């Protein structure tokens, strides 16, 4: 049996070989990614890329648990981290703990992730002291989209840079084993990476981080938007359209199913 990577394995990679991370939401995709990736993130981006929500605010605990279970079933060696959704961890430490434990018990994932807003480092300390491995998330925080009026890159002025740097410091000091850094300029990503003792995993945050993460549907060309930071490694939407169009032609001209795809009764 294969031992799954866990928080200490990822934490130990600070400054070493870059950590390879992608999001995953389903068992078959997790199975296909497991070999290449150190870490599979069941991101609350699932609400947007799989369920068609306009942002991640509507994502529920039940959605995260169902997708977390699927990714755990599909993968064997990669560490699996499940996002805590909006509304699941900021009411109180007790609420955060109860929801984190529910995710860990019901999915078997090795850690949870929270977006490190102003009140969150205290929550991270509460969770990690009680045995819940936590990943932080600073810079652009998608769960704050309705406060901010959109998805905007962070750290364009000095005050904002200082805020992101401070949130990263507090997140690491609170016991997070790694920190996602999203949507920041290269100089800030490098500053954050130097300032914290745990690995930074960047998305739209330059090559200056200790690892990289992308939303899998973005890099596979399944989701219809291409921000500057995404590199497309496949055109799965094009492949699906091509396959569906060919299937439609074959059905309409009755060339599908053919003899090889047809059951026949035994001849008497
Ligand atoms: O939800 C998500 O996919 C994420 C990653 C982009 C870091 O939080
Ligand atoms: Na997320």
Q: What is the pLDDT of residues 67-106, one digit of tens each?
A: 999 999 999 999 999 999 999 999 999 999 999 999 999 9
Percent of the chain with pLDDT over 90: 90
The confidence score (pLDDT) of residue 179 equals 98
Say if the ipTM goes beyond 0.95. Answer: yes
Helix axes 158-173, 186-195, angle to 10 degrees: 30
Six-digit token string for 229: 């930071």
Ligand 1 centroid, distance to 23 Cα (angstroms): 7
- Please report, in range form, the residues annotated as the binding site: 44-45, 83, 113, 115
Asked, for residue 203, whether it belongs to a domain, the answer is yes
Peptide bond into 138 cis (omega under 30): no
Q: Provide the 3-class DSSP secondary structure of residue 28.
A: helix
Q: Does any ligand 1 atom lie closer than 6 A to the CB of residue 75?
A: no
Q: Does any ligand 1 atom lie closer than 6 A to the CB of residue 85?
A: no
Asked, for residue 23, whether it belongs to a domain, the answer is yes
The confidence score (pLDDT) of residue 41 equals 98
Asked, for residue 1, whether it belongs to a domain, the answer is no
Residue pair 189/208 in contact by the 8 Å Cβ criterion: yes
Ligand 1 centroid, distance to 215 Cα (angstroms): 7
Asked, for residue 71, whether it belongs to a domain, the answer is yes
* Mutational pocket test of ligand 1: of 26, 43, 183, the residue with most ligand atoms within 8 Å of the beta carbon: 43
Ligand 1 centroid, distance to 67 Cα (angstroms): 14
Ligand 1 centroid, distance to 1 Cα (angstroms): 29
The confidence score (pLDDT) of residue 167 equals 96
In this structure, what is the dihedral angle of CA atoms 220, 226, 230, 231, given to the nearest 10 degrees?
60
The confidence score (pLDDT) of residue 225 equals 79
- Residue 186's domain comprises 7-234
Q: Does any ligand 1 atom lie closer than 6 A to the CB of residue 217?
A: no
CA–CA dist 85, 80 (Å, integer): 16
Q: Does any ligand 1 atom lie closer than 6 A to the CB of residue 83?
A: yes
Q: Does any ligand 1 atom lie closer than 6 A to the CB of residue 209?
A: no
Domain count, the chain: 1
CA–CA dist 23, 222 (Å, integer): 13
Six-digit token string for 29: 């995709």
Six-digit token string for 32: 């296909």
CATH number, position 142: 3.20.20.60
Asked, for residue 20, whether it belongs to a domain, the answer is yes
Asked, for residue 263, whether it belongs to a domain, the answer is no
Q: Which residues are annotated as catalytic?
A: 182
88: nearest Cα among 47, 45, 44, 138: 44
Beta-bridge partner residues of 201: 180, 211
* Mutational pocket test of ligand 1: of 82, 179, 182, 204, the residue with most ligand atoms within 8 Å of the beta carbon: 182
Asked, for residue 259, whether it belongs to a domain, the answer is no
Q: Does any ligand 1 atom lie closer than 6 A to the CB of residue 81?
A: no
Six-digit token string for 225: 């938007």
Residue pair 77/1 in contact by the 8 Å Cβ criterion: no
CA–CA dist 63, 82 (Å, integer): 11
pLDDT digits (tens, 9 = 90+) for 148-167: 888 888 888 999 999 999 99
Asked, for residue 186, whether it belongs to a domain, the answer is yes
- Please report, in range form, the residues annotated as the binding site for 3-methyl-2-oxobutanoate: 44-45, 83, 113
Nearest CA to ligand 1 atom 4: 43
DSSP annotation string for 159-184: HHHHHHHHHHHHHHHTT-SEEEEESB
């Amino acid at each position: 049996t294969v031992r799954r990577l866990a928080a200490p394995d990822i934490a130990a990679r600070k400054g070493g070989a870059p950590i390879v991370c992608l999001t995953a939401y389903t068992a078959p995709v997790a199975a296909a990614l497991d070999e290449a990736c150190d870490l599979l993130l069941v991101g609350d981006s699932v609400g947007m890329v799989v369920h068609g929500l306009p942002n991640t605010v509507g994502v529920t605990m039940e959605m995260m648990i169902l997708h977390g279970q699927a990714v755990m079933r599909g993968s064997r060696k990669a560490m699996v981290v499940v996002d805590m959704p909006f509304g699941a961890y900021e009411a109180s430490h007790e609420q955060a703990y109860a929801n984190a434990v529910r995710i860990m018990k019901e999915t078997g994932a090795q850690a949870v992730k929270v977006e490190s807003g102003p009140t969150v480092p205290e929550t991270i300390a509460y969770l990690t002291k009680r045995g819940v491995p936590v990943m932080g998330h600073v810079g652009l925080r998608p769960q704050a989209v309705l406060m901010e009026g959109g998805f905007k890159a962070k750290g364009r002025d000095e005050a904002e840079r200082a805020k992101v740097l401070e949130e990263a410091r507090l997140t690491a000091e609170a016991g997070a084993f790694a920190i996602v850094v999203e949507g920041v300029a290269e100089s800030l990503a490098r500053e954050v990476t130097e300032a914290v003792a745990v690995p930074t995993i960047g998305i739209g945050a330059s090559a200056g981080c200790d690892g990289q993460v992308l939303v899998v549907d973005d890099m596979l060309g399944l989701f219809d938007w291409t921000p500057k930071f995404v590199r497309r490694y496949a055109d799965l939407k094009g492949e699906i359209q091509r396959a569906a169009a060919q299937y439609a032609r074959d059905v309409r001209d009755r060339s599908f199913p053919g003899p090889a795809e047809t059951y026949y009764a035994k001849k008497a």
